[in-house]
Amino acid sequence: MFSKVLVANRGAIARRVIRACSELGIASVAVYSEADAGAPYLAEASEAHALAGNTANETYLNRSALLGVLQASGADALHPGYGFLAEKEDFARSVIAAGATFIGPDPKWLGAMGDKIAARKLMADAAFPVFAGSEHLEDLDQALVAAGTLGYPLMLKPSAGGGGIGMRVVRDEEELRKSFALTRKMAMAAFADAGVYLESWLDAPRHVEFQLLGDNEGRVVHVHERDCSIQRRHQKIIEESPAPGLERTEVEEIAKSAAETAQRLGYNNVGTLETLRDNSGDYGFLEMNTRIQVEHGVTEAVTGLDLVAEQIRLASGAPLPEIPELHGHALEARVYAEDPETHMPSTGVLQRFCYPVLEGVRVETGYCEGQAVTPYYDPLLAKVIGWGVTREQAIGRVLVGLRAFSVLGVKTNIPLLTRVLQDGEFLHGHVHTGFLQDF
């Protein structure tokens, strides 16, 4: 087991990793930007190191600065969290070259799954279902030919993308012509890669993902599924497990296939295989996230596993844990600092930031009262996770948790979240990725 872990991230995930290290008896090293100097987890870590600057490029994306802290602290492992450098192959290799362990899969998987086109081909070659799509598109003429073959409507996506950035639905040739250059520009700005491709557009699909765990001996298991269909701008805001309204035999069959495919390919450590499910019940590979997910707490709530601790254990060479059966139901609602009507980020000082301590409710946050919410990073404030014996009880607990959340100084999306959780269609489990547009 490791003696000291550098947590190369911020916010809720940094605090979560620090807690897991503490419970494993491992020293933790936090890093922080000037904007995050008041974060509560800095005092919870064994030590904290400042990163000069505020912007992501100056701090949490600054490879040389992070590697400098790795060396100065004497940490023998680095946990990247999610976002920032978590899925950057070159950074993972730099950590290993510096003599430390990168807590994640073999770096080759970050590269293989980071290119969405290559990942689709890899999964298709491994006989996992993949919906129709194009190869890498170099120019508009090539895109028009591909679209003519695939048939509209289509989704135009960055090949190095994530978080829904740059994705556009194109319903005809005119929309493709208008969107192609803009999507490439957005892809370059967000991912330093202008690569794009086309994928079949599905009408009102379900977004169902499968949590995978792999050890270093070639064994991979699944830890059930999460339904992440409630999204705005292709970004998840409510996740739950098990997936409502789906037959367990159906879900377990695709979960087993996901684990078996990952095992044949040789995947190791924690990963999430994401799929879309169309209205006929067919599943197709969407992407593979080679890191811990924002919504990992949902799976923890219904299994009792500590996925972050398991991620650290697996990286140290430990065997797979026993996988428990699903127990009850869990939901997560993501609380963002944003205007609930316009969805635009809201910044300011948290004059009041009081979250509930309730039975069956868990709150994950990297903020505290008096701290500033700045424009430099993702506006995620907290995650409210509710567990119940039934789905109805879990929803009720999340609702109570959200209503008991008191925030002053910034606007939040709590009003939107509570409206969704009380909506009749949602309560009946009639969820899909276009739910919020209809809502």
Please state the pTM of the whole predicted model: 0.95
pLDDT at 164: 75
Rounded CA-CA distance 101/80 in Å is: 11
Residue 24 has pLDDT above 90, yes or no: yes
Percent of the chain with pLDDT over 90: 89
Which residue among 232, 277, 291, 397 is the active-site one? Answer: 291
Burial of 50 (0-12, 13-18, 19+ CB in 10 A): middle
DSSP per-residue codes, 363-414: EEES--TT-EE-TTS--EEEEEEEEESSHHHHHHHHHHHHHT-EEESS--SH
11 three-class SS: helix
pLDDT at 161: 73
Residue 439 has pLDDT above 80, yes or no: no
Strands 269-277 and 348-349: unpaired
pLDDT at 233: 82
pLDDT at 431: 97
Rounded CA-CA distance 398/252 in Å is: 26
Average pLDDT of the residues in 17-32: 98
pLDDT at 29: 98
pLDDT at 90: 97
Helix 307-315 vs helix 296-303: crossing angle, to nearest 10: 100
Sign of CA dihedral 403, 409, 410, 411: positive
Average pLDDT of the residues in 376-394: 97
Average pLDDT of the residues in 155-184: 88
Average pLDDT of the residues in 296-309: 98
pLDDT at 194: 84
Residue 230 has pLDDT above 80, yes or no: yes
Residue 428 has pLDDT above 80, yes or no: yes
Determine whether 291 is an active site residue.
Answer: yes
Task: Give the model confidence (pLDDT) of 333-368 as tens digits.
Answer: 999 999 888 888 999 999 999 999 999 999 999 999
Strands 220-232 and 235-241: antiparallel
What residue ranges define each of the domains in the chain, with the CATH number in brackets? 4-103 (3.40.50.20), 132-200 (3.30.1490.20), 206-438 (3.30.470.20)
pLDDT at 342: 83
